[in-house]
Amino acid sequence: QGVPKPFTEVIRANIGDAHAMGQKPITFLRQVTALCLCPELLASDAFPDDAKSRARRLLAACGGQSAGAYSASPGIELVRGDVARFLQRRDGIASDPQNIFLATGASDAIVTILKLLVTGSGPSRTGVLIPIPQYPLYSAAIAELGAVQLGYYLDEERCWALALSELQRALAEGRRHCCPRVLCIINPGNPTGQVQSRQCIEDVIKFAFEERLFLMADEVYQDNVYAEGSAFHSFRKVLTEMGPPYTDSVELASFHSISKGFTGECGFRGGFVEVLNMDPEVRQELAKLVSVRLCPPVPGQILLGAAMDPPQPGEPSHAQYIQEKQAVLSALALKARLTQEIFNQTPGISCNPVQGAMYAFPRIQLPPRAQAAAK
């Protein structure tokens, strides 16, 4: 309307769509995917040998050696094995590929697990504990499935920490009108950017054991940890190291994706869930449930497979892969620090340190006149 403003442009800062905001793709991952989608490129000298060997291996695992064929409903068996080896390298703990289901991004896997767990009506309806602030996928999926949302509030004064007393409050309140069956954790936090301590994860696992809750651990930001003194601890690793009675009885589904981290490949829609301590008959029902959608997109599975089997020292792509990975993570760490510093320099806005993930969650103090106008 022609009213003068103290700025000349508005910058679009999209939440979590890395490539839309200019992040460059990791060359090796795109090379492997391109070779699988256009196999005649395997004869080209423009591609390194390690990318070609990965592509041949992945194509051999596809029906008719084509990325256009359906895969098995839980995903390409070879890629599920690569995911299992990735988890073993990360945690030092073996993983069974039969417990791994590939998905159309982590979001699809999260909704599938929620579908499996939602049952009953009225007071027996499934209640799902989710963090507040939360990633809106959870509230939307819970509403769509007709489950009951039970919010537990993260503690802003303690850098968005998870308090056991708040979990107990939300659970007790929920039991008055539904049947709480599921506890969702997002670590590193979306949209709050906190990274949970190992002690916190142990406390959550004990709580889930005592209250007979199914644990869902959304860990898609595990590569995005910036704060000094913070470190990512996977729920599967902590659960296994805690020993009995927790290790062999707490039911856990943990999620990961190629959309975030340093890859940022949101559009390929590749992700997975690993389930632990799930009753074999229930796991069979999960297999039936995923078969309804036939299979996840095969190009996303291929790119996920390339990410799970990266170039090793001595291979031609290794140096470039490491350099590109570190460049992305360093840039994201710089942006995280810059964001919180600028927020905290702005009158009326304060922001906790961004320990991880790709989000800052500032507090905005509304001035008295704005409050009066709202009233």
Look at residue 266 and tell me if it is in a domain: yes
Q: What tens digit of pLDDT does each residue of 98-117 get? A: 999 999 988 899 999 999 99
Give the domain range for residue 282: 77-308
What integer pLDDT is reported at residue 374 of this predicted model?
A: 94
Q: What tens digit of pLDDT does each residue of 262-300 get? A: 898 988 999 999 999 999 999 999 999 988 888 999 999
Count the alpha carbons within 13 Å of 237 in the hemisphere toward its beta carbon: 13
Q: What tens digit of pLDDT does each residue of 329-357 get? A: 999 889 888 989 999 999 999 999 888 88
Instruction: Compute the distance between CA of residue 217 and CA of residue 6 in angstroms, rounded to an integer.
Output: 43
Evaluate if pTM is beyond 0.85: yes
Write phi, then psi, for 96 (nearest 5 degrees). Answer: -95, 120
Cα torsion for 46, 47, 49, 55, to the nearest 10°? -150
Look at residue 324 and tell me if it is in a domain: no
Q: How many CB atoms lie within 10 A of CB 173?
A: 15
What integer pLDDT is reported at residue 135 of this predicted model?
A: 85
Look at residue 12 and tell me if it is in a domain: no
Instruction: Compute the distance between CA of residue 25 and CA of residue 23 in angstroms, rounded to an integer.
Output: 7
223: tokens are 């590569």
Write phi, then psi, for 303 (nearest 5 degrees). Answer: -65, -40
What integer pLDDT is reported at residue 14 of this predicted model?
A: 65
Look at residue 16 and tell me if it is in a domain: no
Look at residue 145 and tell me if it is in a domain: yes
Q: How far apart are the first and last CA of the chain?
A: 26
Look at residue 143 and tell me if it is in a domain: yes
Instruction: Compute the distance between CA of residue 101 and CA of residue 112 in angstroms, rounded to an integer.
Output: 10
Cα distances (angstroms) measured from residue 255 to each of 66, 105, 129, 180, 329: 27, 9, 17, 21, 20
What integer pLDDT is reported at residue 17 of this predicted model?
A: 83
Q: What's 129's domain CATH number?
A: 3.40.640.10
313: tokens are 């020292």
What integer pLDDT is reported at residue 216 of this predicted model?
A: 95
Look at residue 36 and tell me if it is in a domain: no
- Structurally, the chain folds into a number of domains equal to 1
Stretches where the chain sits below pLDDT 70 are: 14-15
Look at residue 28 and tell me if it is in a domain: no
